[in-house]
């Protein structure tokens, strides 16, 4: 299997989400893609069916925070100090949605251990949470407030959040690898009282952790992180890499 690889780049939220969908369309012809990217400006992305009214749009605009909608499910994420990945396969690749989710998480763990061996305590979430109950909490509008099965945790705290979308002819998965604590600021943009925002932030702090917090130092060399992630994907999937430019797809 050959993956067409697009190295780390920065784009707006609407571009990033549109381009992931475009890759999913191209995968219908039997092509496989792997891409790493960041968000410029920082961006709040909403799950496919999430109500935008849950976000204080005026404050986000004032703070130069983009708002975009993901083609996948889940809740709100503030994309800031992170590396985002997307992996796209044709539906007939022989890898099921469940297998892709698990293998991708294992690939990311391998890559992060390449980045720093102190991350060897990362592991997969083993049980599916009760999302219905989770949505009742003050942090219910936030994606990183809960961990799904086979997402990546550091002990009990979530480090990577991922989501999938099955299409007729392809399978898209993308996710956020949180490198710094800026993702916690999502609570500032929720339409909640100040007291409820404090509760939501506390819930987030108890349930998430960034690479910089684990390592007790900045994890802001995003190109190095993405290079190590690529090694992790190659090791887990054992595929050939063909580096491409966006313009050539």
Q: Active-site residues: which are they?
A: 143
E-state strands within the chain: 2-11, 32-39, 43-46, 66-69, 77-79, 82-90, 122-124, 152-154, 157-166, 170-178, 240-243
In a 10 Å sphere around its CB, with 0-12 CB exposed, 13-18 middle and 19+ buried, how is residue 83 labelled?
buried
In terms of Cα–Cα distance, which of 180, 196, 177 is closest to 139?
Answer: 196
In terms of Cα–Cα distance, which of 103, 17, 34 is closest to 243?
Answer: 34
Rounded distance, CA 171 to CA 183, Å?
Answer: 27
Question: Which tokens is 60 given?
Answer: 């986000």
């Amino acid at each position: 299997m050959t993956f067409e690889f697009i190295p780390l780049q920065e784009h707006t939220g609407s571009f990033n989400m549109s381009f992931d969908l475009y890759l999913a369309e191209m995968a219908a012809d039997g092509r496989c893609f792997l891409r790493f990217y960041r968000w410029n400006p920082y961006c709040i992305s909403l799950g496919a069916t999430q109500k935008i009214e849950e976000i204080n749009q005026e404050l986000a605009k004032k703070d130069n925070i983009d708002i975009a909608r993901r083609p996948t499910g889940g809740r709100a994420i503030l994309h800031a100090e992170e590396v985002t990945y997307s992996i796209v396969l044709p539906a007939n690749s022989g890898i099921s949605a469940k297998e892709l989710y698990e293998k991708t998480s294992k690939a990311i763990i391998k890559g992060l251990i390449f980045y720093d061996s102190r991350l060897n305590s990362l592991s997969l979430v083993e049980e599916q949470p009760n999302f219905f109950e989770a949505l009742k909490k003050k942090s219910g509008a936030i994606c990183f407030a809960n961990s799904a099965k086979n997402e990546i945790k550091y002990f009990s705290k979530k480090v990577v959040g991922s989501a999938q979308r099955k299409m007729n002819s392809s399978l898209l998965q993308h996710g956020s690898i949180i490198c710094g604590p800026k993702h916690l600021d999502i609570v500032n943009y929720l339409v909640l009282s100040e007291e409820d925002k404090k509760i939501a932030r506390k819930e987030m702090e108890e349930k998430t952790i960034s690479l910089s917090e684990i390592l007790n130092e900045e994890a802001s060399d995003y190109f190095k992180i993405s290079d190590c992630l690529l090694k992790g994907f190659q090791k887990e999937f054992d595929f050939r890499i063909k580096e491409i430019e966006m313009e050539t797809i």
